[in-house]
Amino acid sequence: MRRFLCVLAAAVLCLSLLPAAFAEEDAAPLLSGDVWDMAGVLGDTTAADLAALNDRMSGGRLMVVTRHFLGGKDAGAYARELLDSANPEGGAVLLMVIGEEDYALALGEQIAKALPAESQQSLLARNFRTPYLNRAYDEAVADFALAFAGQVSRARGESIDLDGLFGRISLSATPAPQQWSGKSDINAMWQDFFGEDSPENRTDRGREADWEGGLGTLIFWAFIIYFLFFRKRKRRRYDFGHGPRRRW
Amino acid sequence: MKFRPAAAFVLMLLMLVFAVSFGAYQGWNREKAQLEEAEGAALNAMLRARAESAYNLMTVAKRHVPESDGDFQAVRECRQVLSDEKGAYTLAQKAAANESLTAAANALLTKLEGLDSVRQDSRDLMYVQSLLPQMLKESNRTAVGAAYNEAAAHFNQTMTGSLSGALARRLGVDVLPLFSAE
């Protein structure tokens, strides 16, 4: 009975650790969906048309991310991080850093084969740069997405139907929002501004890690105590018969 | 071999001293590392966010004022100290730069807001009037600095007030610096 209780207690302790052990893996990916418009400069139709375009493309998705600033981070490296968090193989990320007037394109391995580096640069120069710098962000995304899909499909020897996509895009420049729409959740605001958790959340995570480490130690000592006090000792028989105890 | 009680006693004493010293060093060093990892990480995140905010302000300012501008230079100097991750500046210097950044950034924002080139640019005007001040305000988490200082002060007080702490200090475990400009 005692042994059963010890095993049960150990099992409960191990089960209680499972959520903490898998908490990090359950975290949502940094980038999901086709548009992550953190700067709030794209229209709803652009997002819908981009999703429709991605559905028509075979073997790759173009994701568009907008940020106001990157705080000194390299746009290319940041776009690559986003791509790695979402679809490192067959995806592509177009990053637009509105406040820094910078942009970057990151391609997954499969698409990079169809679109080598020099083609990427000329594609951006011809179909993105001018409307982007003129702050016509919807138009810039539309031009680039259509040209990108056409070029990738051609390189793969496939055909793609682009009719009806981005047809309702207004060619006038999208005005920047007059006021930044504040967020009530401090962590969400930090995510918007700095692309990472707020310091308070960071401390909490550190404490969670300490707690997990503490539980590991607790289990270790629980097993030690179990082996020392609760484990049934094997009966060693040194004495045989009824004679005096042997001593060697 | 002849048993010598005096030698055995000295050996035992040496072992005892070694064990106590090693334990004190290990214990205080571990506690210091844990504190630096937990509270120090939050403080570093805050300083990084402050440096990023300063960079963002400089990015907008560069479009409207020359880089030789006095207010621009003041923000740049603060950012240089705050973004240091190689230990070139002390925590006190970083705390001073953090305090100076608020005043320097406000001066630069005020200057930018009065410029025609900014007022005619709806995007940059929004940044100057709304987003950048909010960003600078949010990045300055005084509670994080206070929490670090409280934890560091408690650690320092406990270490200096105990025998094992004094032993650990002699062996090279230093007290934690406070996040304070003074």
Q: Is the pLDDT of residue B152 over 60?
A: yes
The distance of B3 to chain A (nearest Cα, Å) reads 27
Q: What is the pLDDT of residue B166?
A: 86
> Which residue of chain B comes nearest to A135, CA vs CA?
B123
Task: Note the pLDDT of residue B38.
Answer: 82
pLDDT at A182: 54
Distance CA A102, CA B63 (A): 14
CB within 8 Å: B42 and A202: yes
| A5 located within any domain | no
- What are B32-35's contacts with CB under 8 Å, separation 24+? B32/B155, B32/B173, B32/B176, B34/A210, B35/B151, B35/B152, B35/B155, B35/B176
Q: Which residue of A has its CA nearest to B31?
A: A210
Which of A71, A178, A199 comes nearest B52 by C-beta?
Answer: A71
For residues B85-113, give the mean pLDDT: 92
- Checking if the pLDDT of A75 tops 70, the result is yes
Report if residue A106 sits inside a domain: yes
The average pLDDT across A181-210 equals: 60
Q: Residue B59: its chain A contacts at CB < 8 A?
A: 69, 99-100
Of the candidates A69, A175, A180, the beta carbon closest to that of B134 is on A180
Task: Mark yes or no for CB contact B83/A72 under 8 Å.
Answer: yes
Segment A85-106 mean pLDDT:
88
Contact across the interface for A206 and B41, Cβ inside 8 Å:
yes
Where is pLDDT greater, at A218 or A239? A218
Q: Where is average pLDDT lowest: A62-71, A220-229, B60-69?
A: A220-229
- Looking at every residue in chain A, the average pLDDT score rounds to 73
Where residue A173 falls among pLDDT bands split at 50, 70, 90? very low
Task: Inform me whether the pLDDT recorded for A128 exceeds 50.
Answer: yes
pLDDT band at B67 (very low <50, low <70, confident <90, very high): very high
Counting the structural domains of chain A, the total is: 1
**pLDDT at residue A160 in the model:** 81
Is the dihedral angle over the CA atoms B149, B152, B153, B154 positive or is it negative?
positive
Average pLDDT over residues B15-39: 89
Specify the pLDDT at position A66. Answer: 94
pLDDT for A14 equals 41
- pLDDT confidence bin for A199, thresholds 50/70/90: low
Q: What is the CATH number of the domain that holds A49?
A: 3.10.310.50
Inter-chain CB proximity A180 and B131 less than 8 Å = yes
CA distance A134 to A131: 5
Pick from A105, A63, A50: nearest CA to A80: A105
Q: Name the residue of chain A whose CA is nearest to B135's CA.
A: A193
Q: Which tokens sit at A59?
A: 């073997």
- Select the residue of B122, B135, B147 nearest A175 (Cβ to Cβ): B122
- Print the domain residue range for A99: 35-176
Q: How far is B165 from chain A (nearest CA, A)?
A: 23
Average pLDDT over residues A185-207: 62
- Which of A176, A193, A202 has the CB atom closest to B138's CB atom? A193
Evaluate whether ipTM surpasses 0.85: no
How would you classify residue A204: left for phi > 0, otherwise alpha for psi between -120 and 50, otherwise beta? alpha
